[in-house]
Chains A and B, each alone.
Chain A
Amino acid sequence: MSAATGAGASSGAGATDPEDAARALADLVRTAGRDVLATLARWTGNLALAEDAVQDAGLRALQTWPRDGIPDNPVAWLRTTARRRAVDLIRREAARGAKEALATGPVFAADLPEDEPDPDVVDDDLLRLVFTCCHPSLARETRVALALRTLCGLSVEEVARALLVSEATMAKRLTRARQKIRLAGIPYRVPSADDLPERWDTVLATTYLLFNEGYAATAGLELTRPELVANALRLSRLLHRLRPQDAGATGLLALILLQDSRRAARTDAQGAAVLLADQDRTLWDARAVAEAVPLVGEGLRLSPGHPDPYVVQAAIAACHALAPTWQETDWSAIESWYEVLLRVDSGPVVRLNHAVAVAEARGPAAGLALVDAVVGLQDYPLWHATRAALLRRLDRPAEAAAAEARARALPLNAVQRDLLER
């Protein structure tokens, strides 16, 4: 199935009220636009120019499609329109003379191909674009912003809103990033076999960072920022489609699906956070879980002997997802998975989560000993909150109260703070 029909199928269906229809149309333009952008970036060799052209084409689609109807092949329509626009831009640039051309970067051939690229070619283009946007020579927050703008097709204003910075700041950051990509010669290609594993890790890490920022927002008033989560999920689906045999991409998609499956249960009617133990499990998204669990198995099959860290985290999330209640959770399985995870990632947060699993599997004293052995989390409110909970279970109320006070003194988003205060 081609990228074009895939994008078409996900749109419009069942959209009855005008708001739904508008959203479906915007989604279609966004997904199709991303495919077009990938191809146009290769054709022109200039990401900024390609983005301008695709944005223009997208705006025209949003103006004309509601009136004239959605074309049979929206991707081809957008590609033709964006291509024409790119040729205009290139001509205009050429006419501005050498001095201005220096400021905007080299101008590329004005005769762009007219034929429709194969779906396989579009996928190759997308993969190249993914590697460009997640290049290690770009700062982490720049990669996240580029992922949203270029790979998820958000407007600059939407990216700014999603990442809680002003539109002007975001516009500046994105302009600088595109300038670096062009002038420093960040390549638009899939890295060599030698570099590929590390570079792919950066791609997955960027996607996971995007998800995490949405799932456990560190800034702002809300506990989650669903639009970031939705975009991380979309990006993770794309990565899995582009490299279906990759354990990391498989595990990451499963992990995001599983964590996000709890979304409806994570906050109560007042918007306050609900702990996993207290969540109404009937609110968990069974469809997401059903999609994710086979992916976990697939990820394990793809990384035998040395499971990929995302797959292991997804396996842990699957243990929770499949447990009918907190009490009936298979804690010893979770403890074992954390031990596997610790072999590849012995960071303090993983050790803290391992300690929580041990506390459930073997009692609060064993858990607390492990929590106390974790160093480097003195500024992490959940470390103190976990200590407080375990101390309370061990009937040591004075120490528990002290730990709670420490937890409360540390910065948190408003919803998490609310949770600690109860």
Chain B
Amino acid sequence: MTQYAALIYSADVDWTLPEYADVTKEYAAFAEAAGAVIRGGAALYPTSTATSVRVEGKGGKILTTDGPYAETKEALTGFYLLECADLDEAVRVAATIPGAWDGVVEVRPVIEFPM
């Protein structure tokens, strides 16, 4: 089994607003249907709440900028951690995440560092 991060890139919106209740319901339905393979995940507040942190060399001065690392039309708005047999299964599951039709879901294998 491999763990995959399913990174959801979609419109940069505030999921807590009532107008997104239907979409959140869709996500809840997805989470229930895919419960067997979901190992974690989160929805994120919009990028207007983001702070990008950079340090001038290890131990150096902390520089912060208001906003996301990259300004793009579609933003990282949430992610799931999925445990699947292979990429085919991961793609099949990712294709049922509402973000896949509202935006794009990027599937990336997760490194499992040996103990």
Contacts and interface: CB of A to CB of B under 8 A. Distances in A.
Interface of A: 98, 101-102, 135, 137, 183-187, 191-192, 195
A229 B4 CA distance: 39
Interface string B64-99: 000000000000000000001111101100000000
A98 B115 CA distance: 9
A185 B2 contact: yes
Contacts of B111: 102
- Of the candidates A135, A184, A185, A191, the one having the most CB atoms from chain B within 10 angstroms of its own CB is A185
B114 A186 contact: no
Contacts of A98: 114
Contact of A185 (B90, B113, B114): B90
Interface in B98-114: 107-109, 111, 113-114
A184 B5 CA distance: 11
Contacts, number: 32
B109 A183 contact: yes
Nearest to B111: A102
Contacts of A184: 2, 87, 107-109
A187 B86 contact: yes
Interface residues of A, dominant DSSP: loop
Contacts of A135: 87
B58 to A, nearest CB: 21
Nearest to B84: A185
B114 A137 contact: no
A183 B2 CA distance: 9
Contacts of B107: 184
Contacts of B90: 185
A137 B86 CA distance: 12
Contact of B86 (A101, A102, A185): A185
- Of the candidates B4, B88, B90, the one having the most CB atoms from chain A within 10 angstroms of its own CB is B88
Contacts of A195: 88
Nearest to A183: B109
